[in-house]
């Protein structure tokens, strides 16, 4: 994006515009080069921004909480839109509405405190609400598809649109929004009244299981590969002898083989090379072709 357009944009919107911002700061992997990042202050700001980008044919990408992203070492030339200021959570009786930039574990905890059940599975998933919907994030038998009632978006021209669950075509780690240019701005959830203490216990049980099986103390982007039908990518990598494989500072976790951890200053190219090596290893060992779950932002 040209310097002049960035100046115009700065004067147009209320939110922040960060020039040549290191995306490594925004990703759970702690990897990624620079990009210009805009943080709309509210929904109206986002609409103005979309119209501005559309009129000038400027490409953009959306950043949620950065927990499923591998960003190229060269960064990206597209403008990055970060929704962190759109983070309102509204709970009135059984009606729960969350803005896309709200953190999923915060939403899960607040819903639990309001004695609403359905998001217990989400307590340890470090997603934004928007990122969780796109990916149909899930764990321990639950997923977003089971609890979303309505999703609101802003289109490329800055118009508001609304979807019900049936329109979204949720499946395992997939949704209609993956192939769409729209930006998710909010969602309404269908939760059920339940006992607060039981909800809290369930969340704690899931968090304990997660801590025991996942490498949460090193930078990572969650599971790297999708699970093949009726199997686990982690198990397949493990039995093929993949644990501990390394390229630079990117390593297949010793704790869970479907996690690649950044043990120091891993680069995106280290991780990509390791991903290819792991795919080859598993294919040669069991004939299964693993497919990435992490989203790759190439420059």
The reply to whether 100 sits near ligand FAD by the rule CB under 6 A is yes
Burial class (CB in 10 A: 0-12, 13-18, 19+), 64: buried
How far apart CA 184 and CA 162 sit, in angstroms, is: 10
Task: Pick what 123 binds: ligand EPU, ligand FAD, none; C-beta below 5 to 8 Å, kind-dependent.
Answer: none
Task: Pick what 184 binds: ligand FAD, ligand EPU, none; C-beta below 5 to 8 Å, kind-dependent.
Answer: ligand FAD
Task: Pick what 256 binds: ligand FAD, ligand EPU, none; C-beta below 5 to 8 Å, kind-dependent.
Answer: ligand EPU
**List 140, 246, 248, 288, residue binding ligand EPU (CB under 6 A):** 140
Beta bridge partners of 185: none
Among the residue ranges 20-28, 55-63, 160-168, 230-238, the one whose residues contact ligand EPU (CB under 6 A): 230-238
**List 16, 238, 273, 292, residue binding ligand EPU (CB under 6 A):** 238
In the region spanning residues 28 to 47, those forming contacts with ligand FAD, defined by CB under 6 A, are 28
Comparison of 1 and 69: residue with beta carbon closer to ligand EPU:
69
Return the residue matching tokens 């929004």. Answer: 177
How far apart CA 229 and CA 218 sit, in angstroms, is: 28
- Identify which of 93, 91, 92 has the alpha carbon closest to the alpha carbon of residue 108: 91
Burial class (CB in 10 A: 0-12, 13-18, 19+), 245: middle
Among the residue ranges 42-50, 217-225, 232-240, 280-288, the one whose residues contact ligand FAD (CB under 6 A): 217-225
CA atoms within 13 A on the CB side of 266: 29
In the region spanning residues 219 to 238, those forming contacts with ligand FAD, defined by CB under 6 A, are 220-222
How far apart CA 180 and CA 89 sit, in angstroms, is: 25
**List 149, 150, 235, 246, residue binding ligand EPU (CB under 6 A):** 235
The sign of the CA dihedral 61, 67, 70, 72 is positive
Residues 53-92 vs ligand FAD: string with x where CB under 6 A? Answer: --------xxxxxxxxx-------------x---------
Inter-residue contact 223 to 178 (CB < 8 Å): no
Please give the residue ranges that form the binding site for ligand FAD (CB under 6 A): 28, 61-69, 83, 100, 125-128, 130-132, 134-135, 137-139, 183-184, 216, 220-222, 295
């Amino acid at each position: 994006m040209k310097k002049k357009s960035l100046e115009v944009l700065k004067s147009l919107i209320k939110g922040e515009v960060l020039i040549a911002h290191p995306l490594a700061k925004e990703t759970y992997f702690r990897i990624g080069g620079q990009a210009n990042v805009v943080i709309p202050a509210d929904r109206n700001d986002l609409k103005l921004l979309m119209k501005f980008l559309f009129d000038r044919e400027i490409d953009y990408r959306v950043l949620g909480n950065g927990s499923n992203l591998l960003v190229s070492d060269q960064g990206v030339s597209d403008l990055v839109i970060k929704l962190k200021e759109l983070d309102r959570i509204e709970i009135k009786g059984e009606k729960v509405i969350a803005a896309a930039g709200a953190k999923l574990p915060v939403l899960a905890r607040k819903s639990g405190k309001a004695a609403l059940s359905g998001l217990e599975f989400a307590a340890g998933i470090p997603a934004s609400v928007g990122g969780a919907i796109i990916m149909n994030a899930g764990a321990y038998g639950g997923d977003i598809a089971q609890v979303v009632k309505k999703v609101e978006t802003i289109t490329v021209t800055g118009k508001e649109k609304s979807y019900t669950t049936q329109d979204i075509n949720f499946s395992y780690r997939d949704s209609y929004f993956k192939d769409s240019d729209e930006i998710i701005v909010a969602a309404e959830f269908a939760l059920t009244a339940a006992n607060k203490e039981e909800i809290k216990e369930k969340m704690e049980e899931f968090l304990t299981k997660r801590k025991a099986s996942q490498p949460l103390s090193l930078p990572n982007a969650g599971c790297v590969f999708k699970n093949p039908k009726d199997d686990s990518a982690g198990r397949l990598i493990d039995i093929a002898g993949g644990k501990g494989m390394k390229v630079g500072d990117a390593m297949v976790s010793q704790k869970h083989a479907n996690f690649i951890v950044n043990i120091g200053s891993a680069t995106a190219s280290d991780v990509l090379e390791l991903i290819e090596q792991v795919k080859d290893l598993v294919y040669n060992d069991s004939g299964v072709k693993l497919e990435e779950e992490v989203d790759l932002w190439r420059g």
